[in-house]
Amino acid sequence: MDLGIKGKTAMVCAASRGFGRAVALQLAAEGSRVAMCARGQADLEEAAAEVRHVAASAGSGPDAVLARSVDVTDAAAMEAFIAETEQSLGGPDMLLINAGGPPAGRIFELDDAAWDAAYRLNLAAAASLCRRVAPGMAERGWGRIVQITSVSVRQPVENLVLSSVIRPAAHALIRCLAEEVATAGVTVNSVAPGFHTTSAVERLITRKIADEGCTRADVLAGWTREIPLGRLGKPDELAALVVFLMSEPAGYITGQLITADGGWVRGTF
């Protein structure tokens, strides 16, 4: 299938590991120009080198990839990153809203500072990005915004109170924006991953082992028992869904929350 995104510019947030990195790689393989960010310089440089290699194999020039060490909650740094992207790669046609997840925890363990940080990381930063990037897409008459959320939008997840509360609001943002920009040719969607094999899930496993005194095999067996497909997802699988939603043929899909969880959520059709 021709995804129709060769030569278009994508901004991929939180792209040094996990889902963001997998999305950046697949976009580069499609011939898109990629601006990527994350906080840590070392992981970002390693990821950017891989993305540049894939971009070159897809026939893109050496300047098709821009990587900057930026925290998505730092408004001034994000503005500089977006402005540099516009100048060197062109105004973003595709945007991946992504960041680390809020820390695990239960209601009585989480103080006001933890709530405030989760709000800033997983909701306010997304709103600010949309406000800055969507108008340019609308002016150019084409755009694709995809947000990575979590199955916690569909069903609260044990021990992940912050995610289970903040992420439904983050999807509501996407739903509202989708209505506002629909007539301008811009689609806006969320994806809701279940358990996937990324470094974020490795951290959850480590915490469960410490909390419960169980083994890694116990944790994985407990999760996979609840997943009809009987395994964790791969970041590449989720990235393929994201890149499809960013493509030309996905132009009639907007305002949606698309779940990729191996069948874990039982509550909704």
Ligand X SMILES: NC(=O)c1ccc[n+]([C@@H]2O[C@H](COP(=O)([O-])OP(=O)(O)OC[C@H]3O[C@@H](n4cnc5c(N)ncnc54)[C@H](OP(=O)(O)O)[C@@H]3O)[C@@H](O)[C@H]2O)c1
Residue of the chain from 9, 85, 198, 259 that contacts ligand X (CB under 6 A): 198
Q: In terms of CB distance, is 92 or 193 closer to ligand X? A: 193
Residue 68 has φ and ψ, to the nearest 5°, of -135, 140
The 8 Å CB, 24+ separation contacts for 112-117 are 114/162, 115/162
Residue of the chain from 129, 133, 145, 148 that contacts ligand X (CB under 6 A): 148
CB of 218 to ligand X, least distance (A): 18
Asked if 15 contacts 37 with a C-beta cutoff of 8 angstroms, the reply is: yes
CB of 33 to ligand X, least distance (A): 19
Residue of the chain from 57, 87, 88, 199 that contacts ligand X (CB under 6 A): 199
Does residue 262 bind ligand X (CB under 6 A)? no
Asked if 151 contacts 267 with a C-beta cutoff of 8 angstroms, the reply is: no
Nearest to 103 by CA among 94, 111, 92, 91: 111
For 27-108, strand residue ranges (E) read 33-38, 65-69, 94-97
Residue of the chain from 56, 58, 68, 73 that contacts ligand X (CB under 6 A): 73
Pattern of binders to ligand X over 23-62, x per CB under 6 A? --------------xxxx--x-------------------
What's the rounded Cα separation, in Å, for the pair 148 and 125?
13
Asked if 6 contacts 60 with a C-beta cutoff of 8 angstroms, the reply is: no
Residue of the chain from 26, 48, 51, 100 that contacts ligand X (CB under 6 A): 100
For tokens 């990587």, name the residue. 67
What's the rounded Cα separation, in Å, for the pair 36 and 47?
9
Largest Cα separation within the chain, whole Å, is 55
Reduce the DSSP state of residue 145 to 3 states and report it: strand
Residue of the chain from 3, 9, 18, 259 that contacts ligand X (CB under 6 A): 18
Q: In terms of CB distance, is 249 or 263 closer to ligand X? A: 263
Q: In terms of CB distance, is 1 or 76 closer to ligand X? A: 76
Count of residues that bind ligand X according to CB under 6 A: 29
Residue 236 has φ and ψ, to the nearest 5°, of -65, -35
Number of residues that make up the chain: 269
Residue of the chain from 92, 101, 143, 262 that contacts ligand X (CB under 6 A): 101
Piece of 135-143, 168-176, 197-205, 241-249 that binds ligand X (CB under 6 A): 197-205
What's the rounded Cα separation, in Å, for the pair 27 and 144?
13
Does residue 72 bind ligand X (CB under 6 A)? yes
Residue of the chain from 5, 12, 82, 99 that contacts ligand X (CB under 6 A): 99
Residue of the chain from 147, 150, 189, 259 that contacts ligand X (CB under 6 A): 150
Q: In terms of CB distance, is 41 or 88 closer to ligand X? A: 41
Contacting residues toward ligand X, per CB under 6 A: 14-20, 37-40, 43, 71-73, 98-101, 121, 148, 150, 193, 195-196, 198-201
